[in-house]
């Protein structure tokens, strides 16, 4: 029978071995090295622009690895049409359930993936120049301090008179002061007020806490991601 005449060498004559030379060694080295460099740049920008409570070093490492992994995958896909169809089917069944706590982290994830894709496609100037522009924009806007950020003043007073004096003081020293909640107990009044600062200075809280009839004054900042005591409180 014909199939019995198959030799040992014929077994290895397959498309699998032919794909070994589909991507040159030089292209692999250049792409992976560039992906590592761009991934480190993304990681440094992420480290400089992080504004959360607890910095995660593992997420920064993930950005570098994601850039390199995407580059390797796209290199394989662009070298074989059949492999690209199989890769689409394989990735379609992958589900990631890790929660993204910081909204800006999504931008960094897409940035790493996009750089990996562009590098593997051979568009090196686009990847480099685009990453530099994106990095500069993030550094400028994320690190820009604004006095319009809202603060909450938690004020505890002895009575109505001290409360009125405290509110008049805050109206004078802040740009905006709005009462959010008020709790009245016998011999004590607790007021939560939203304020907007005129300038980046919270020393007025010390003066507020030293007023007659004021038991305590706490300044709490809220930037949309976390809450904490403001500086100078």
Q: Tens of pLDDT along 108-124? A: 989 998 999 898 888 88
Q: In this structure, are 117 and 170 located in the same domain?
A: no
Q: What is the CATH number for 154?
A: 3.30.70.260
- For residues 51 and 223, the answer to whether their CB atoms sit within 8 Å is yes
Q: In this structure, are 192 and 212 located in the same domain?
A: yes
Query: Which range of residues forms the domain containing residue 56?
Result: 2-142
Residue 156, token pair as written in the block? 């505890």
Burial call 183-215: b when 16+ CB within 10 Å, e when fewer: eeeeeebbbbbbbebeeeebebbeebbeeeebe
CA distance linking residue 106 with residue 68, whole number of Å:
18
Q: In this structure, are 22 and 94 located in the same domain?
A: yes
- For residues 182 and 155, the answer to whether their CB atoms sit within 8 Å is no
Q: In this structure, are 93 and 192 located in the same domain?
A: no
Tens-place pLDDT, residues 12-67: 455 555 556 666 788 788 889 999 999 999 999 998 888 766 677 788 888 999 99
- For residues 66 and 39, the answer to whether their CB atoms sit within 8 Å is yes
Q: In this structure, are 106 and 166 located in the same domain?
A: no
pTM score, whole prediction:
0.61
Query: Domains in the chain: how many in total?
Result: 2
Q: In this structure, are 107 and 183 located in the same domain?
A: no
Q: In this structure, are 129 and 161 located in the same domain?
A: no
């Amino acid at each position: 029978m014909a199939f019995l005449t198959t030799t040992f060498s014929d077994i290895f004559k397959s498309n699998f071995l032919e794909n070994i030379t589909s991507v040159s060694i030089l292209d692999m080295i250049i792409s992976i090295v560039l992906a590592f460099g761009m991934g480190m740049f993304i990681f440094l920008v992420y480290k400089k622009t992080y504004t959360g409570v607890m910095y995660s070093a593992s997420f920064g490492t993930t950005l570098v690895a994601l850039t390199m992994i995407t580059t390797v995958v796209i290199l394989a896909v662009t070298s074989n049409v059949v492999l690209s169809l199989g890769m689409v089917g394989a990735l379609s069944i992958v589900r990631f359930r890790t929660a993204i706590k910081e909204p800006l982290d999504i931008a960094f994830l897409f940035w790493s993936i996009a750089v990996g894709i562009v590098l593997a496609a051979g568009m090196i100037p686009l990847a480099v120049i685009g990453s530099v522009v994106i990095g500069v924009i993030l550094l400028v806007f994320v690190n820009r301090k604004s006095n319009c950020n809202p603060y909450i003043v938690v004020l505890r007073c002895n009575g109505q008179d001290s409360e009125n004096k405290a509110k008049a003081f805050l109206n004078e020293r802040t740009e905006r002061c709005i009462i959010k909640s008020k709790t009245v107990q016998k011999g004590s009044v607790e007021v939560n007020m939203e304020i907007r600062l005129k300038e980046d200075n919270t020393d007025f809280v010390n003066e507020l806490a030293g007023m007659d009839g004021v038991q305590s004054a706490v300044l709490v900042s809220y930037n949309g991601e976390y809450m904490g005591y403001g500086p100078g409180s």
